[in-house]
Structure formats: structure tokens, C-alpha cells
Amino acid sequence: MPKTVARLFPLESNSSAHISELDFLIATPLSVTSPTSTAAVANEVDLKYNHLFTILEFQIKGSGNLKAVRLITNATLAFSSGTLDITQTAPAARTAYNFASQTGTSSEVTTTLTTAATLTSNNTDTKVYMVINPGTPTGNCLIGLTSDGTTWQYIYKAAPTEGFKRGVKYVVSVDAGVVDFYTVTSSTEKVWMDRNLGVSRVAISSGDSQAYGYYYQWGRGSDGHQISTSITIASLATSDTPGHGNFITADAAPYDWRNPQNDNLWQGVNGINNPCPAGFRIPTETEWTAEWEIWEPKNAAGAFASPLKITIAGYRHWVTAEYTDQNIYGSYWSSTTIGTESKYMLIGSSNAYINDLGRAYGFSVRCIKD
């Protein structure tokens, strides 16, 4: 009989009995000589089986029901099909196998329960397991929870510093009572964050100052410049990452914080400086226009009445860095560029429309799910 090695590292949980049902195993390549006799063979072939993937054990506490758990990162977590050369030498412990190909890759995995679980105040009462591809995501992971499969709440969790290693089971403690943001689905059937970046609550009015959030210069990451207390600097950046958290002022055309300009900083979920959580991105001009078309009326009142609960947070001036037009206009960046400028949605008391301006302006950001 072959020997199956099913030990997990680290041994952090109270049970690993589930592993044989969830993980995939591959034998270390071994060459043997077929016996010429049909008699009993004295020496057995001793095979060692190695894990291919990574196991996550979510231990969840809270109240109410739990129907599904989702993990989103900026690394490949799953694929629909792949090719693996089983004759390859087994990699070192915790190191991933080399797949010749993987198709249908995804940075999102969802485990849906056949029957919803009832959460308690003890997180060891509810455990949900997930098999993922080994990898090294950067930044925060997003853990999503839903009680009905429709409305999701999300919690930020830092990715392991060493990434998700092959053959390792990671135990993740989750408090369902702690929420970083929810998502909302608009009439366009697009899924959005329910608040601006930098906000801890959903707006209660279009002029709710506690729901204004951060002010991003177009194309910059979350390096600190977007925070209201950031200081200014007049020296333009020459790279995609300025190396500081100052708000860069620009008093000459093309009014960009970067010289030379780069149009590709916020393009899609994998944009170089995408400031949105994993699995989310800056909306396009077309996506903002689609929302505007269903607002009624097509102004700040209609924008707030929509599922997005849009605020009119004003903007940060590109030269003085002063906060301007708060509770008068809302300015929301899109990922779309035109010439030396970028498109944004301008929202006021009488109307709302797409406009374009220089990229040194500090505008609000609302993220959309990819």
C-alpha cells in the first residue's frame, strides 16, 4: 500500500481531518522496475504524496446567518483547468508546483454553504473551508460575508507576509460584526462600494461631511496624499510612485502631478496605482454615464437617492490645495483619459454631467467591482 503524507504546516487548527476531502495530492515521481515474476514482491513501492494547493479555514463569529464566504486578492486564487507535468521533481516544502498552463484564472473564490449556518459569539462554532492556489498577494485581502447570497459585507485582512504556501492550512478568524464596507447593486446591475474611499460609514445626506472621504489626484495610489492633513509640495513627480505622501500642486499646463504624464495608472483592476480594494477598480466614463442616466432627478438629489448615496464633497484645489465647493459640488474621478486630462463626474444641485480636467485636482473616488 502506498503511504500518504497528509500533514499540514503549520498545525494551527484543532482538526485537519477534512483535508483528504478538500485537497488534491500528487505523488513524488518514482522509477521502479516491474517484477518479472507473478509471485509476491518482497519490496513494496513507497509513494509520498504532496499537496498541490492551500487550505483556508475561516473561523467566523457574529449573529444572524451565513450563506457564503468570499476571498478576493490581487493574486491568482483559482483556475478552471490546467496542465501539470507529474514527472517533474517535487518542489521544496511549501513551494508551489509548476503548472504548464492554467486557464480561466480568477483572483476571487467563493464558498457557498448548502444550508446557511447560524453564527454565534464563538468563532470556533462556525468553520468554512476553502481551497486556493498557492500565491503571494500584496496589500490587503478582502473577505466577504453574506447571509442571502446578494448583499455582501467586506472586511480587510492583511495577506500573510510569505504569501499562501502550498500544503499549508491558514486559520483566519473573522468577526462578522466588524465591517469595512458593504457593496450595493445599482439599477445598471453593477456592484459598487457603498461609500467613498476613506469613509467609515454610508452617507446620511448628500452634504454629510463624515462621508466625504479622501481626495485623490488622478492616477496616484494610496500613498497618503489623499488624506485631508497631507502637506503640499510643488515639485512634480517623475515616476508613477512619487516616494512621499504630499499633495503635489501644479500651476502650469497640463496640470498633472506627474511629468511626463502616464495614461495607464488607473486602467482596470490591475492598474499600476489602482487605489481600490482587491477585486475593485476605478469606474470608466461609460459606467458613470450609465448611473447618471437612471438618476432622477439628474443632479445631487438624484445621485444621493440612488443606491450609491453619492455625496457632494467638493474638491482639493490643484494649486492652493484648499478644499473647495464642499456641500456644493461633487467630483468623482473615472479611469478614462482624454488628451492630457481625465474624465470625471461633476454633480451639483441643478445638474450632473461628465467633464474633464487636469490630473492634479483632488477628487473623490468611488470604486466598482470588476
* Contact indicator for 174, 123 with CB cutoff of 8 Å: yes
Q: Domains along the chain?
A: 19-179 (2.60.40), 183-370 (no CATH)
Burial 172-183 (b: 16+ CB within 10 A, else e): bebebeeebbeb
φ/ψ of residue 57, rounded to 5: -115, 105
* Cell triple for 241: 510612485
Q: What would the pLDDT profile of 213-261 be if each residue is shown by its tens digit?
A: 999 999 999 999 999 999 999 999 999 999 999 999 999 999 999 999 9
Residue 175 corresponds to which cell in the numbers above?
468577526
Contacts of 165 (CB under 8 A, 6+ apart): 9, 54, 94, 95, 134
- Mean pLDDT, residues 157-176 taken together: 93
| pTM across the whole model | 0.81
What string of DSSP letters covers 78-106?
B-SEEEE-TTSPPPSTTPPP-EEEEES-B
Which set of grid coordinates corresponds to residue 95?
513551494
Q: What's the pLDDT at 41?
A: 54
With a cut of 70, say whether residue 365 has pLDDT above it.
yes
